Each structure stands twice: as structure tokens, then as C-alpha cells.
Chain A
Amino acid sequence: MRKSLLVAALLLIAGSLGLAQVKIGINLELSGRFAAIGNQTLNGIKVANLQTPEVLGQQVELVICDNETSREGSIACAQRFVNEGVVGVLGAISSSMSIPAAEVLQDAGIIMISTSSTNPQTTQIGDFIFRMAYTDDFQGKLAAAYVVKDLDAKRIAVFRQIDDDYSYGLAGFFDETAKKLGAKTLIQDFVANTVDFTAQLNNIRSFKPDAIYYSGFCAEGAPFMKQLREQGFAQQVIGADASDDPQCPEGAGAAFDGYIFTGFATPNLIADPEAKKRAEAFKAKYFEVLKDAQPGDFNGFVLAGADSYNVLVAAIKAAGTTDVKAVRDALANMEHYPGVSGDITYKGTDGTPKDRTIGFYKYEVKSASDWKKIELFGKSTAEVQ
């Protein structure tokens, strides 16, 4: 009796001193294959946290967990957050790490906002799972239309990482649309950590492709592009948002020159002028806070990270409580939230924002240390629907 009184008294004191905190879990790929994107996303979240450090008069505490780019690590992070009792979890980046974490968090009734998982399955796991990205059916369709119509490619070789949910799914959507538009395709498979692509490249030699689509990540993409050029293929290569990673040009240097890819929109490509202004302001803030950040480190992943934090805090504010169920309802009913990555509406969707912009980019690479990303154009998913 005495003990519990003491605890209650201590709690009261703690509460009055303002020590009450809202805990938000962060499950990201901070080391391993996707380390670069993971740390960019984390920086986005951190800057957003600096801008809005409090909600409902309580300090927001970020609990960071590195999943080491592994499914097991992602599940372990999710379980840790279940035990710690967080309101919501931000991350993971990739679909392969997001899906297993989403299953754990859905069962425990904790909100999860994947910052950049694009596989359609992720948000279909349950009503507590949201994302900040578009889905791969759009990305694949847009890329295929671009390659077949704009680049006028009739024969396309498709490289997919068969043991990754994102890469495999995206290659499927691309392949489907490209065939529908009358192109011939040849799919080649590889697995995570593949470094030798010479046999696959030899396989596409007699197919004589006009263009090559690569749906994988940079850890494999860098050796892939290096060998592709060494083996005498000069064709245009098109990649996806996983290529929006400095590890690509830094890993393979000039082999990435001219490489085109789709990805999360940067401020310049966002059509809505209001949203663009917010994105620009956020970019300025980002470089003000992170003084030694490289220009190449700011991309759509940073914006997606920031907005996943912003919408969760906004939902807590709208709910007026940190009760997870109430916050989830607020999030699911969110309409036209003015995010730095564009307008965010979850009402009436499966947890995927209604309108997202997909950017088309091109790498201009002189060497591993001298490269830039050219913005070509942006396409809104609402237009495609």
C-alpha cells in the first residue's frame, strides 16, 4: 500500500515536471545494404522532430532501432516497440523489411507508417498500417509507358531481385504494362548480394534489347552497371526509387552516367505550388540544421521520412490523446494534410496517400565523387488513376 502510494506520488511529481513523453518508434535500415537511404530518412525525421518537438504539451521521444537491413532485425525492432509501448512506428524503408514488421505491429495494435515501402501488400496487412509512398503498380506502369512510348523501346530486358518483395513485385507490374503496350520482354533473376552478373548479361546478348529495366537496389546495382558497360552494352537503363541512393553513382562511378530512374518527388517536381513552397522551406531548414550534409543526400526519402513523422504527430494532436486507437482513427480520417512531400489524404484509402508525385530523374556522372541528379519531370498518381 505504502509502496504504491509512493509510486503514485512520484508519478505525479514527474507529470508536473513535464517529464511525460510521447514515444515514437523508428525502425530503419541504418546499416547493411540500404544504409544510405536509411540514414537519409532518419535525418528527415530528425529535422521534422526539431520543427515540431512537442504534441499535446508533451515532449516527443524518438526511439531509434536499426534493423540492419534484415527481416529478422525488422521483426526484432517491431517487438521491441510493442514491449516499450510506443504510439506508432515510423519505417521501415523497404517493403521486405516493412511487411514482416507490419504483421507484428498490426497484431499488437500499434500504428505503423512505412516511410517508403511501395509494394501494394504492405498496407493491406491491416488497418493500423500506413505508408508515405505511392505503390509499385503506379511506378511500374509509369516507367513502362515511358520506356515503351517515350524511349521507343520494343525489346526490354528486365532484371529483378527475386528474393525481395519490392523488386519482384515492381518488375512484375513493369513487365505486364510493357507487354500490354506491345513490347517484348526478357526477365533475368538475381538474389540479394549478387556481385557477378556476367552470366545474366551473356543471356540477354542474343535478345538484343533496346532498353534495360533494373528494379533492384544499389548494393547490387553498382556492380551490375559496371559489368553491363564492361560487357559492351550501351543501351539506356531505367531504374526505380531504390536507385535514388548515392551508393549507386558512388559505387560504380561513370557507369551510371545517363541512367534514368523513377523516384519520390523532390521539391522542384511537385506540381502543387503550395506544397512546393513547403518542400522548399523544409529543404532550407534541413541544410541549416545539418551543416555538413551533401547536396546529394537530400532527396524524396528525406521528405517522406519527415512527413511520416508529421502526420503521426498531427493525428495525435487531432485525436487529443495518445490512445493508439483514437490516433489511428484520426490518421485514417486525415484529409488534405499539408505535408512537405505534397498533399496527404488517408480517408478512403488502404493507408496509401491518395495523391503522390513520382519523379523522373537522370544521373549525370563524371566520376564517383563528381555526379548530380537531373530532375526530368514529375507525374502525379492522381493523373494516372
Chain B
Amino acid sequence: MTASKLASRSTLFTLATGLVLVALVGWRVASLGDYTFARIVQDFLNALTLGSLYALIALGYTMVYGIIRLINFAHGEIFMLGSYFAFYAMTLTPMHWGLALLVTVLLGGTVLLVLRSLFNLEEPRRTAALALLIFAGTFFLLAFRNMGWIEALLLSMLATGVAGVLLEAIAYRPLRGAPRESMLITAIAASFFLQNMGQLLFGPRVQGFNAETILNRPLNFTIGEETVYYTGILIVVPTVTAVLLFVLNLFVTRTRLGKAMRATAQDAEVAQMMGVNVNQVIALTFFIGSILAAAAGVMYAIRFGQIHPLMGLIPGIKAFTAAVIGGIGSLPGAVLGGLLLGFIEIYVVSLFPTLSAYKDVFAFVLLILILLFRPSGLVGEDLTEKV
């Protein structure tokens, strides 16, 4: 069979599936009766927010996989760390100047060391300027500011990025070249370790994450006689996800470091021979992936209002599912997969209320179908080619 025939066949198949789905949804909407237009809009906004959150986590997941083919099961825990860092940044500041100094030296020192190794900061003057900026900035934020959510978000992204690099250096780098299963098992172990460390350090209790921010402000509007309820976060999360996807794509396709990343993804050994510092590229990948996880963690905490040490588990699994559905390793795929998952979860509950407990089953059935019929995901490329 020729390729074009195959393509037209799969297009037909997709079209038919789409038509069946549309018919099914249309029939449900008609038979539900009280499913008004305002409720449809409400569901759509809710699904968009949830899906964008999944997409944001899935982006980090898929980046790491794309470069070193590692399913980083600890990604959910990095996400948890991100929300805790922001939580403490908001609740513990302004702190006593002595304590602030100590934290600044420890945190700033680690951040500086990691940044230096990531971006080849050789020139002493620039390094000194960066050091001054980091130390002064951190000290100022810790000692004199009662941090708002934006400052907390930025600080948390930086700290979590560094935590991700440390995780890679400690847990994964020594296993470079080992069979992939060893890495996978290590990732699971790292995930358990971080969960338990979180319980020990942060306490096992649920903590309220009550940021009185613009993100929680109601921005309701009415359609006809009915009100559609939404808050600022329903705009911010999809926007942030879209912007990050755009920037990341630009970074990977247009910059030297991005080129090095793609080279490492295709063949790490050959890339190394061509002068690419593979360790540095991988560390950078973890840095970016963890920054994304932190951003998602803070958004998630603001949206749902609470954090706890095991909070990363379920979103981690969901993001993994989203990444695989979209095509693991592909950035737009991760976003598409996340959105799809969000829409399934919301619409299963609205259209089939009696099946609402099984919404995850629908998501995982989709995962199995995708793996069976399109193993490389919705927008993933052929298995032979890595990205």
C-alpha cells in the first residue's frame, strides 16, 4: 500500500471517529435538556483551565524525555517542591535579617554555582555582576518584602530549577550509559524519596495556599439570564501555557543551546564528539523542565487552594498520560495532550454524570487506544526519529 493511500485512510478514520464523537455529544446535550448554553461555556472555561495546567506539567515531562529518553517520575515531586517554595516565600517573609542572610548565602551560592555550570560563565566581571544581582535580590526579597505571588513564583521557579539540576546530578548522572531500566527505577526511587522528604520537612498535613491575588478575583459575566463564573486564573493559566510553549519552541529551534539540545536528543555520543557538552545540555534540560514544573505547581496551588507533600503524584501521572497521548518528546504534543485530558475529565462528568467517578478510566482508555493505534502519539513523529 502506498503512503498516500495509507494517509488518506487514516484521515478517513479520524474523520469518522470525529463524526461519531460529535454525534454522541450532540445527542447527550439534546437529551440532557437543562444543559444550557451558559453551562456549556462554563464547562469549556473549566476544561481549558484544567487542561492548561496539565499541559504546563506535561511540557517539563516531555522535554526531559525528548533529550535523554527518561520518564522522569520525580517530575510530580519537583512540581510539589515548586509550590512549597512559593508557599514558604509568601508566608515566611519578611524574615529576620540574620536568617535571611543565611538563606541568601546558601540559596544564592547554590543558584550561582548551578547557573555558572549551565551557562559557561567564564568572564569574571559578568559573573560578579550576576552574583551581586542574585545575592542582593534574594536578600532584599527575604528580609524586607512580604512577598506577593509574583515574586514568590519567580523565586520558586529559580529555586526549583536548581533543585531539578541537583536531582539530575545526584540521581541520574552517575547512571549515564547504564541500561534505561536502571534510570527508570532510579526515577521512581527519587520520586518516593522526595515525597517522604517532603512529609518530613514540610509536615504531612494539608496546607492552605491562600494567595489573595488578582488570580482569585471573580470576573463573572452573564449569558441571557444565567451567570458564567470564572476567576482571573482562567485567563492566566492558558496564556502562560501558550507563551511558554512559544518561547520554548523558539529556544529549541533558534538558539545555539537549543541546537545542542536537539543534537543531544538525536545522538548524545556523536553530539559529544562534535564538541557539545552533553552533561551541560542535560542539566539545562532539567533546569528548564523544573522551572516549568514550579510554575505549574504555583498555578495549581492558587487554583485549588491547598498543597501537601503527596500532591505531585496524581498530576504527575496525568501529565505523563498527556505527554504520551500528545506524543512524548514533542512540545506541542504535550500541550495538545494536556488540553485533551482536561476536556475529557470535565465533559465526561457533565455529559455522563452517573459515570463521573470513572472519568480517569476514560482518560486511560484513550491512552491505551493511542498506544495501540498511534504509538508515537497524536503529533509525535516516527519512532525512529528522536526529538
| Cβ contact of A199, chosen from B43, B308, B354, B360, cutoff 8 A | B43
| Given A203-B353, A219-B308, A35 contacting B46 (CB threshold 8 A) | no
Within 8 A of B (CB), among A190-233: 190-191, 193, 195-196, 198-200, 202-203, 205-206, 218-219, 222-223, 226-227, 230-232
Contact in complex: B353, A31 (CB < 8 Å): no
CA distance in complex: A199, B42 (Å): 9
What is the distance, in angstroms, from B320's C-beta to the closest C-beta of chain A?
Answer: 15
- What 1/0 flags go to B344-361 for Cβ under 8 Å of A? 011111100110110010
CA distance in complex: A250, B199 (Å): 17
| Given A198-B346, A199-B350, A202-B350, A30 contacting B207 (CB threshold 8 A) | no
Q: Please report the total number of B residues contacting A with Cβ < 8 Å.
A: 40
Contact in complex: B310, A32 (CB < 8 Å): yes
CA distance in complex: A342, B42 (Å): 49
Q: Which residues of B contact A203 (CB under 8 A)?
A: 349-350, 353, 356
B→A interface (CB under 8 Å): 34-36, 39, 42-43, 46, 50, 199, 204-208, 210, 216, 218, 220, 227, 229, 231, 300, 304-306, 308, 310, 313-314, 345-350, 353-354, 356-357, 360
Interface residue? A183 (CB, 8 A):
no
Q: A199-B356, A200-B353, A206-B34 known; 8 other A-B pairs, CB under 8 Å?
A: A163-B357, A190-B357, A195-B304, A199-B46, A199-B347, A202-B43, A219-B206, A246-B205
Q: Which residues of B contact A162 (CB under 8 A)?
A: 357
- What 1/0 flags go to A28-47 for Cβ under 8 Å of B? 00111101100000000000
Q: Nearest B residue to A253 by beta-carbon distance?
A: B210
| Cβ contact of B205, chosen from A230, A247, A253, A367, cutoff 8 A | A247
Interface residue? A251 (CB, 8 A):
yes
Q: Which residues of A contact B304 (CB under 8 A)?
A: 195-196, 223, 226-227
Q: Nearest A residue to B313 by beta-carbon distance?
A: A193
Contact in complex: B206, A222 (CB < 8 Å): yes
| Given A190-B357, A230-B218, A251 contacting B43 (CB threshold 8 A) | no
Q: Nearest A residue to B33 by beta-carbon distance?
A: A206
Q: Which residues of B contact A222 (CB under 8 A)?
A: 206, 208, 305-306
| Given A196-B304, A223-B305, A250 contacting B208 (CB threshold 8 A) | yes
Interface residue? A237 (CB, 8 A):
no
Contact in complex: A251, B310 (CB < 8 Å): no
CA distance in complex: A255, B304 (Å): 12
| Cβ contact of B305, chosen from A163, A188, A252, cutoff 8 A | A252
- What 1/0 flags go to A170-200 for Cβ under 8 Å of B? 0000000000000000001111010110111
Top 10 A-B pairs ranked by shortest CB distance? A199-B349, A35-B204, A198-B46, A206-B34, A368-B208, A31-B204, A162-B357, A189-B357, A251-B306, A223-B304
What is the distance, in angstroms, from A171's C-beta to the closest C-beta of chain B?
Answer: 12
Q: Which residues of B contact A199 (CB under 8 A)?
A: 43, 46, 345-350, 356
Q: Please report the total number of A residues contacting B with Cβ < 8 Å.
A: 40
What is the distance, in angstroms, from A290's C-beta to the closest C-beta of chain B?
Answer: 16
CA distance in complex: A35, B227 (Å): 38
What is the distance, in angstroms, from A170's C-beta to the closest C-beta of chain B?
Answer: 16
Chain B, interface SS category: helix
| Cβ contact of B349, chosen from A200, A219, A251, A252, cutoff 8 A | A200
A→B interface (CB under 8 Å): 30-33, 35-36, 162-163, 188-191, 193, 195-196, 198-200, 202-203, 205-206, 218-219, 222-223, 226-227, 230-232, 246-247, 250-253, 255, 367-368
What is the distance, in angstroms, from B185's C-beta to the closest C-beta of chain A?
Answer: 20
Contact in complex: A368, B210 (CB < 8 Å): yes
What is the distance, in angstroms, from B300's C-beta to the closest C-beta of chain A?
Answer: 8
CA distance in complex: A9, B318 (Å): 61
Q: Which residues of B contact A250 (CB under 8 A)?
A: 205-208
| Cβ contact of B204, chosen from A30, A193, A196, A218, cutoff 8 A | A30
What is the distance, in angstroms, from A162's C-beta to the closest C-beta of chain B?
Answer: 4
What is the distance, in angstroms, from B334's C-beta to the closest C-beta of chain A?
Answer: 19
CA distance in complex: A200, B350 (Å): 7
Contact in complex: B205, A226 (CB < 8 Å): no
| CB-defined A-B contacts under 8 Å, sample of 21 | A31-B199, A32-B204, A162-B357, A191-B357, A195-B300, A196-B345, A198-B43, A199-B345, A199-B350, A202-B350, A205-B42, A222-B206, A222-B208, A230-B218, A230-B231, A246-B205, A250-B208, A251-B306, A252-B306, A253-B210, A368-B210
Q: Which residues of A contact B208 (CB under 8 A)?
A: 222, 250-253, 368
Q: Which residues of A contact B34 (CB under 8 A)?
A: 206
Contact in complex: A226, B305 (CB < 8 Å): yes
Q: Nearest B residue to A66 by beta-carbon distance?
A: B204
Q: Which residues of A contact B306 (CB under 8 A)?
A: 222-223, 251-252
What is the distance, in angstroms, from A235's C-beta to the closest C-beta of chain B?
Answer: 14
CA distance in complex: A241, B345 (Å): 29
Contact in complex: B353, A196 (CB < 8 Å): no
Q: Which residues of A contact B360 (CB under 8 A)?
A: 191
CA distance in complex: A20, B227 (Å): 70
Contact in complex: B356, A251 (CB < 8 Å): no
Q: Nearest B residue to A225 by beta-carbon distance?
A: B305
Q: Nearest A residue to B46 by beta-carbon distance?
A: A198
| Cβ contact of B39, chosen from A189, A202, A253, cutoff 8 A | A202
| Given A226-B304, A252-B208, A202 contacting B46 (CB threshold 8 A) | yes
